[in-house]
Structure 1
Amino acid sequence: MLRSNIVITGASSGLGKGMAIEFAKMGRNLGLCARRVERLEELKQELLSINPNINVVIKSLDVDDHDAVFTCFEEFRQELGSLDRVIVNAGMGKGASVGTGYFYANKQTAVTNFVSALAQCEAAVGIFREQNAGHLVTISSISAARGFRRALTVYAATKAAITSMTEGIRIDLMKTPIKVSTVHPGFIRSEINEKVKTAPFMVDTETGCKAIVKAIEKEGANSYVPSWPWSILYRLMRIAPLSMLAKMS
């Protein structure tokens, strides 16, 4: 099924922006939201230069304003005519080792990456239930496989929660036309990890986003991208000793 109208949260930079560019090349209409609306304005012009035949709607949204999430998604539905796919992408990676004085940063990541993702899923699936159609996509992480240390401790925990929550939604909707997918990106260079100097199998944003969009289009339950090596490493990480995990973070 062709998903013509796609909403992406956290679309002003990183993976959100990269996915928007790939979908524009495919001729899809886009509803893009983020806090930095000036960046969305620039992105809109870039997308229309790629494909002037698509409709691009942009809105300012802080996903931590949960009431605003519902309003924003409904406005997208009204302006686009329907929501065929919603990609829950907005997130952050602030934080530090637990107990080292950075509770506020860890809490902010926990709220944005999980509670606010829940708000986005609630808003999207509510619309999909009314339409009896739609595709929910959550962007998790390869770090959902296990616990991680330092700045990734809370981040990885939120991504594990996203994967679990999305699976629950998928079970709920198994007997409906609504599709539910979780994408687990490996190490893809973006603003959220720009301070990370080295990481195993890191790829650039364009390469990573092409792999993500390809996985989304297949509408499978779970995907690990880029497929090589992460589809294998994810399974190995599930059984790896803690000493090996420590080297990855």
Structure 2
Amino acid sequence: MAKAVLITGASSGLGEGMAREFAERGYDLALCARRTERLEALKADIQRRQPNIRIHIRPLDVNRHDQVFDVFNAFHQDLGRLDRIIVNAGIGKGQPLGTGHFEANRETAETNFVAALAQMEAGMAILRAQNGGQLVIVSSVSAVRGMPGNVTTYGATKAGVAALAEGLRLELAKSRSPIRITTLFPGYISTAINAGIKHKPFVVDAATGCRAMVKAIESGKAEAYVPGWPWTVIGFIMKRVPASLLARMV
């Protein structure tokens, strides 16, 4: 029986790219996002290429927290088991603090952290009931240290979900649970969410980036920078460089 993966925010960007990559590897797919017309088109395209896999789609606004639980549970019933649940949905509307854009920062915080918490709660309830599977949290290299300007709130939310994942990982290790928790720290992968950023060092195209993400997920690592080169090195340096130097770098 094929393994099944649930991906939120699957209508575009990293979610869409991972869906295509998992399909190539023979996974059954549970895909959700707000834009159902894009999900329908994605399903049709993947099904033409991979006619033997099962693909279920459902509309989901992750900020409607009750709906998160309903959709996750419905996917679980559809497929019988969810081997991997990927908390991917997010936005990047942050603005510098104190510049009159509280609503943009609030929306970013609620979508990237509170809604991610809801997804983790719903996902873990399923994995605990199964007594197995993998929960994957898509964080960001911007979570490694506090970031300035437009990235301040975004980076803080990604640091928050990474901390949730680490705490959960420690809890499960203590109880020797077979459930695995993986946190991904993507560098610059070319998608719509970062299209407005002018300076994107070491950027890779979406297909390359998503291939690296799926490879890291399947490896079962607790944490992974993706693509591994050069972001593993950059992440190591960012954690240790003095704040005065970091301010000039970013």
Q: TM-score range by the shorter chain?
A: over 0.9
The answer on whether the counterparts of 1:114 and 1:161 sit within 8 Å (CA) in structure 2 is yes
The answer on whether the counterparts of 1:3 and 1:84 sit within 8 Å (CA) in structure 2 is no
In 1, the alpha carbon distance for the partners of 2:102 and 2:225 equals 30
Q: Which residue of 2 aligns with 1:178?
A: 179
After TM superposition, the structure 1 = structure 2 runs for residues 150-161 of structure 1, keeping only pairs within 5 Å, are 150-161=149-160
The answer on whether the counterparts of 1:8 and 1:89 sit within 8 Å (CA) in structure 2 is yes
Would you say how many aligned residue pairs link Structure 1 and Structure 2? 248
Q: Which residue of 1 aligns with 2:206?
A: 205
In 2, the alpha carbon distance for the partners of 1:195 and 1:129 equals 40
Distance 1:93 1:230, change over 3 A: same
Return the offset for 1:177.
Answer: 1.0
Return the offset for 1:243.
Answer: 4.6
Return the offset for 1:103.
Answer: 0.4
Task: Give secondary structure in 1 for the equivalent of 2:5.
Answer: strand
The answer on whether the counterparts of 1:145 and 1:160 sit within 8 Å (CA) in structure 2 is yes
Q: Which residue of 2 aligns with 1:220?
A: 221
Return the offset for 1:120.
Answer: 0.3
Return the offset for 1:198.
Answer: 2.7
The answer on whether the counterparts of 2:2 and 2:26 sit within 8 Å (CA) in structure 1 is no
Return the TM-score normalized by structure 1: 0.97
Return the offset for 1:44.
Answer: 0.2
Q: Which residue of 2 aligns with 1:58?
A: 57
Cα-to-partner distance string for 1:172-230 (whole Å, 9 max, x where unaligned)? 11211111100100011111111112311111111100110100000110000111001
Task: Give secondary structure in 2 for the equivalent of 1:58.
Answer: strand
Return the offset for 1:242.
Answer: 3.3
One-letter amino acid matched to 1:68: Q
Q: Which residue of 2 aligns with 1:190?
A: 191
The answer on whether the counterparts of 2:92 and 2:193 sit within 8 Å (CA) in structure 1 is yes
One-letter amino acid matched to 2:80: G
After TM superposition, the structure 1 = structure 2 runs for residues 19-38 of structure 1, keeping only pairs within 5 Å, are 19-38=18-37
In 1, the alpha carbon distance for the partners of 2:96 and 2:247 equals 13
Q: Which residue of 2 aligns with 1:97?
A: 96
Task: Give secondary structure in 1 for the equivalent of 2:240.
Answer: coil
Return the TM-score normalized by structure 2: 0.96
In 1, the alpha carbon distance for the partners of 2:228 and 2:92 equals 23
Return the offset for 1:72.
Answer: 0.3
Task: Give secondary structure in 2 for the equivalent of 1:151.
Answer: helix
Matched residues, percent identical? 53
Task: Give secondary structure in 2 for the equivalent of 1:96.
Answer: coil
After TM superposition, the structure 1 = structure 2 runs for residues 62-77 of structure 1, keeping only pairs within 5 Å, are 62-77=61-76
Gaps of 5+ in 2: none
Distance 1:248 1:113, change over 3 A: farther
The answer on whether the counterparts of 1:138 and 1:181 sit within 8 Å (CA) in structure 2 is yes
1:10 aligns with 2:9: yes
One-letter amino acid matched to 2:138: I
Return the offset for 1:74.
Answer: 0.2
One-letter amino acid matched to 2:200: A
CA RMSD in angstroms, aligned pairs only:
1.3
Task: Give secondary structure in 2 for the equivalent of 1:87.
Answer: strand
Return the offset for 1:241.
Answer: 3.1
Gaps of 5+ in 1: none
Distance 1:77 1:69, change over 3 A: same
